[in-house]
């Protein structure tokens, strides 16, 4: 009998209200009832995206929506900039190369941010760039890029800004319109508090022009078909939608609205801060810059002498807690706490306690209870419910 | 957005597998499918009761089943012994007085155990006693009585031993037959991991003789009617049973069997020990004897200078964690962690962390993280999954 805790950056825990909505009788997708749900979901997503742009819904994981951005925007031979500093940045690189883009790769070390000045220089050097691809929160490292600054740079050019906000949207402020984000990709399974299976893209007017001019072969992920079918009073999706996940997303959006978007961000600030203070109190080093707004994922450097590969398996098998390990080049070198979405103080408390026990078992000289003591100081000062 | 944790001694959290079983389509209670469920539940309960006696099932809370014991066993004017050391001991007193028993009350201070020698003396002094009523785990104080010793004393006399095991059965070893427990009352909502609404009684042959000789008016709680209807290959209940709760109980029993009853007890030992060590590390006093088998409830003395009435409300309103306060005479003087049933290390960690924050807010000089550090030492040494 092991109680299981997901402390990973996706999938994330799902609130009981959302699970209950998902368990409602399956609705048919060519019915007014579904139109009402879809319309509500899109309106709710727009408020979270902070956008007046179109928001399209796909039954796919986030990667599907990332590929849809490339397919709808990038013709073979088009020049693009990809600013990459982690596994998901590399995914933008692979997707663009797969579809024949001429890629200007700005590759940063894992654990660092993309530099807006580099993007500015690259755009000046390559005035024919059609799009700049970047992450908001790079899930593999927890690092948050400065989308506002990058948006300012890109918006002065004909290029589009395409942001993967899969682990960021709903956890950290991301002002799609104000920050000039032309295409913003998100997924249901992180801060949006629904199981995996739905992906979203917000598409600006500037982006739609490029969509119309790009004639890559595409069918399931064709944005124009989606926009057409999702418009108006009888909105539907072109192909069978994940109806129960949409019912769940509708319930999750209601919870986000009840809490209030600003309170949601503040809750994530507290969780991120507690996690970072908990790690530091244990003498551990954080991976990446100390950023009070990078609150989707906390990445911690595996201390010397500890077998990093065993941290997550011990936590999972002995204590029922799923932490995330390092991905790609970071395998065995970092471990991560995901805390975007349906997370509260209790999850961080459980995660830090398991971290202490697991690190001790792996030979680290643990300061017993120190991580909890540090987290408790953060929680006690919180102005929002945790 | 407050994640809620029940750390009370009933209702207790319910495993997801049990919630799912409860959400299955409602079955009719006059059908073979219901007979199969009822038969499985009774067989499973017998293994948890460690009894070959009849086990009866009622749609009621535990108090209903307690009253059924009095109604079926005690005629007006019958002499009974009630050994009481808490709120639920007092309930035995009230029930017996309500039904006209001539009560020999052995009243102990809250936080102490019933003394088997006192019971022996009282039985010698009153050879006409028909039954001895006692708690196994007294939920209001966390104290566990020595049922084995009491059983030995009572079994040498014509009196019946009637045990309220509502918060004890399934958390702590209780050998109904071996320890000569004639009537053992339990409820679904504690260590049996189901929401409230079902109550159980195990009835020995010795007890059945007294049932037959007792002609109190009774209908819903008539044990003979229940036994007759629940017998054989087409077992049913006399009146409409709580079908979905029984489906849930069936699923919960499967989980208990999968874990293994000995492992269940050992898990509770670890949880109780972690809770006690966590309290002590904070300089707090435990209420009641230090008993390694008293693992349903841990009662802690409210330290001097702390407003005991505010501990549970602060924990609940600010941190989403339900602890239990003191009941009756103990109101404001103790607070309690319930941990019988679907509880693991994570619950104790959350509870102790909230305890530190709440006590600090109420002016207690908290040793930050000390309770967690102490609990972690217990969990790390556990031989069973927590």
Q: What is the pLDDT of residues A246-305, one digit of tens each?
A: 999 999 999 999 999 999 999 999 999 999 999 999 999 999 999 999 999 999 999 999
Return d(Cα B339, Cα B347) in angstroms, integer: 8
Which residue, among A52, A63, A69, A98, has the nearest Cα to A210 in the 3D structure? A69
Asked whether the predicted pLDDT for residue A328 surpasses 90, the reply is no
User: B344 touching A, CB under 8 A?
Assistant: yes
CATH class of B261-380: alpha beta
A357: which chain B residues are within 8 Å (Cβ-Cβ)?
Answer: 376, 379-380
Return d(Cα B288, Cα B294) in angstroms, integer: 10
Q: What pLDDT, on a 0 to 100 scale, did the predictor assign at position B343?
A: 97
How far, in Å, are A23, B27, B33, B246 from residue B24 at the CA level?
A: 11, 8, 13, 11
Of the candidates B319, B350, B385, the beta carbon closest to that of A2 is on B385
User: A320 touching B, CB under 8 A?
Assistant: yes
Return d(Cα B222, Cα B68) in angstroms, integer: 7
Q: What pLDDT, on a 0 to 100 scale, did the predictor assign at position A2?
A: 85
Q: What pLDDT, on a 0 to 100 scale, did the predictor assign at position B248?
A: 98
pLDDT bucket at B129, cuts 50 / 70 / 90: very high
User: B346 touching A, CB under 8 A?
Assistant: yes
Which residues between 118 and 157 in chain B have a beta carbon less than 8 angstroms from any beta carbon of chain A? none
Asked whether the predicted pLDDT for residue A122 surpasses 90, the reply is yes
A321: which chain B residues are within 8 Å (Cβ-Cβ)?
Answer: 346
Q: What pLDDT, on a 0 to 100 scale, did the predictor assign at position A264?
A: 98
Distance from the Cα of A135 to chain B's closest Cα (Å) equals: 27
> How many CB pairs below 8 Å do chains A and B form together?
115
Of the candidates A263, A319, A371, the beta carbon closest to that of B345 is on A319
User: B340 touching A, CB under 8 A?
Assistant: no
Asked whether the predicted pLDDT for residue A145 surpasses 90, the reply is yes
Asked whether the predicted pLDDT for residue B1 surpasses 90, the reply is no
Which residues between 362 and 381 in chain B have a beta carbon less than 8 angstroms from any beta carbon of chain A? 368-377, 379-380
Q: What pLDDT, on a 0 to 100 scale, did the predictor assign at position A65?
A: 97
User: A75 touching B, CB under 8 A?
Assistant: no
pLDDT bucket at B300, cuts 50 / 70 / 90: very high
Inter-chain contact B1–A360, Cβ cutoff 8 Å?
A: no
Report which DSSP code applies to A186: E
E strand residue ranges, B303-345: 321-322, 324-325, 334-338
Q: Give the pair of three-digit tokens for residue B131.
A: 């039954």
pLDDT bucket at A86, cuts 50 / 70 / 90: very high
Which residue, among A102, A114, A204, has the nearest Cα to A153 in the 3D structure? A114
Over chain B, what is the mean pLDDT?
97
Distance from the Cα of B157 to chain A's closest Cα (Å) equals: 41
Q: What pLDDT, on a 0 to 100 scale, did the predictor assign at position A255?
A: 98
User: Which residues have C-beta within 8 Å of that of residue B206, sequence separation ≥ 6?
Assistant: B160, B182
User: B267 touching A, CB under 8 A?
Assistant: yes
Strand A183-187 relative to strand A198-203, pairing: antiparallel
Q: Percent of chain A at pLDDT above 70?
A: 100
User: Which residues have C-beta within 8 Å of that of residue A209, sequence separation ≥ 6?
Assistant: none
B15: which chain A residues are within 8 Å (Cβ-Cβ)?
Answer: 1
- The partner residues of A162 in beta bridges, in order of sequence, read A133, A183
Return d(Cα B132, Cα B129) in angstroms, integer: 8
Q: Percent of chain B at pLDDT above 70?
A: 100
Q: What is the pLDDT of residues B203-237, one digit of tens each?
A: 999 999 999 999 999 999 999 999 999 999 999 99
E strand residue ranges, chain A: 5-6, 54-59, 79-84, 102-107, 129-135, 137-138, 143-144, 160-164, 183-187, 198-203, 297-301, 321-322, 324-325, 334-338
User: A20 touching B, CB under 8 A?
Assistant: no
User: Which residues have C-beta within 8 Å of that of residue A344, sequence separation ≥ 6?
Assistant: A267, A271, A386, B1, B2, B3, B320
Find the closest chain B residue to A345 by CA distance: B319
Report which DSSP code applies to B293: T
Q: What is the pLDDT of residues B58-68, one digit of tens each?
A: 999 999 999 99
The mean pLDDT value for A182-205 works out to 97
pLDDT bucket at B329, cuts 50 / 70 / 90: confident
User: A386 touching B, CB under 8 A?
Assistant: yes
The mean pLDDT value for A186-205 works out to 97
E strand residue ranges, A136-266: 137-138, 143-144, 160-164, 183-187, 198-203
Inter-chain contact A346–B320, Cβ cutoff 8 Å?
A: yes
User: B280 touching A, CB under 8 A?
Assistant: no
Q: Where are the domains of chain A?
A: 16-257, 260-380
Residues written for chain A: 386
Asked whether the predicted pLDDT for residue A1 surpasses 90, the reply is no
Find the closest chain B residue to A254 by CA distance: B1
User: A235 touching B, CB under 8 A?
Assistant: no
Inter-chain contact B342–A3, Cβ cutoff 8 Å?
A: yes
Asked whether the predicted pLDDT for residue A329 surpasses 90, the reply is no
Q: Give the pair of three-digit tokens for residue B165.
A: 């095991």
pLDDT bucket at B328, cuts 50 / 70 / 90: confident
Q: What is the pLDDT of residues A207-241, one digit of tens each?
A: 999 999 999 999 999 999 999 999 999 999 999 99
Angle at B13 between CA B10 and CA B18, to 5 degrees: 115
CA atoms within 13 A on the CB side of A265: 12
CATH number of B16-257: 3.40.640.10
Q: What pLDDT, on a 0 to 100 scale, did the predictor assign at position B10?
A: 87
User: A36 touching B, CB under 8 A?
Assistant: no
CATH number of A260-380: 3.90.1150.10
A346: which chain B residues are within 8 Å (Cβ-Cβ)?
Answer: 3, 5, 319-321, 350, 353
Distance from the Cα of B140 to chain A's closest Cα (Å) equals: 26
pTM score of the predicted model: 0.93
Asked whether the predicted pLDDT for residue B170 surpasses 90, the reply is yes
How far, in Å, are B66, B75, B185 from residue B221 at the CA level?
A: 10, 15, 13
Q: What pLDDT, on a 0 to 100 scale, did the predictor assign at position B337?
A: 97
The mean pLDDT value for B17-26 works out to 94
Q: What pLDDT, on a 0 to 100 scale, did the predictor assign at position A386?
A: 86
- CB-based burial, B273-291: b 16+ in 10 Å, e otherwise: bbbbbbbbbbebebbbeeb
Inter-chain contact A342–B385, Cβ cutoff 8 Å?
A: no
The mean pLDDT value for A10-16 works out to 94
E strand residue ranges, A192-327: 198-203, 297-301, 321-322, 324-325
B353: which chain A residues are within 8 Å (Cβ-Cβ)?
Answer: 345-346, 349, 372, 375-376
The mean pLDDT value for A102-119 works out to 97
């Amino acid at each position: 009998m092991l109680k299981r805790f997901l402390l990973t950056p996706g999938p994330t825990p799902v609130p009981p209200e959302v699970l209950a909505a998902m368990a409602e009788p399956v609705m048919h997708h060519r019915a007014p009832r579904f139109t009402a749900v879809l319309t509500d979901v899109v309106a709710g997503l727009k408020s979270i995206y902070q956008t007046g742009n179109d928001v399209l819904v796909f039954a796919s994981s986030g990667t599907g929506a990332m590929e849809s951005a490339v397919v709808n925007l990038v013709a073979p031979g088009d020049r693009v900039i990809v600013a990459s500093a982690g596994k998901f940045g590399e995914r933008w690189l692979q997707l663009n190369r797969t579809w024949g883009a001429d890629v200007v790769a700005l590759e940063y070390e894992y654990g660092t941010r993309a530099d807006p000045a580099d993007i500015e220089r690259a755009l000046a050097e390559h005035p024919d760039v059609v799009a700049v691809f970047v992450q908001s929160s790079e899930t593999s490292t927890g690092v948050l890029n400065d989308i506002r600054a990058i948006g300012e740079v890109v918006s002065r050019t004909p290029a589009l800004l395409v942001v993967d906000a899969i682990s960021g949207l709903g956890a950290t402020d991301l002002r799609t319109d104000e920050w000039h984000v032309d295409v913003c990709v998100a997924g249901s399974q992180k801060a949006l508090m629904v199981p995996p299976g739905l992906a979203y893209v917000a598409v600006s007017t500037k982006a739609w022009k490029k969509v119309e001019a790009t004639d890559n072969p595409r069918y399931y992920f064709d944005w124009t078909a989606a926009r057409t079918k999702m418009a108006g009073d009888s909105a539907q999706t072109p192909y069978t939608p994940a109806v129960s996940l949409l019912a769940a997303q509708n319930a999750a959006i209601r919870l986000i609205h009840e809490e209030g978007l600003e309170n949601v961000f503040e809750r994530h600030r507290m969780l991120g801060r507690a996690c970072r203070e908990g790690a530091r109190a244990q003498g551990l080093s954080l991976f990446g810059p100390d950023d009070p707004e990078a609150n989707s994922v906390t990445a911690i450097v595996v201390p010397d002498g500890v077998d990093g590969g065993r941290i997550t398996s011990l936590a999972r098998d002995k204590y029922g807690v799923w932490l995330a390990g390092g991905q790609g080049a970071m395998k065995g070198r970092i471990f991560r706490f995901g805390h975007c979405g349906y997370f509260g103080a209790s999850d961080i408390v459980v995660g830090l306690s398991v971290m202490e026990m697991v690190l001790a078992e792996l030979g680290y000289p643990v300061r017993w209870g120190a991580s909890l003591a540090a987290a408790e100081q953060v929680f006690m000062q919180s102005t929002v419910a945790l």
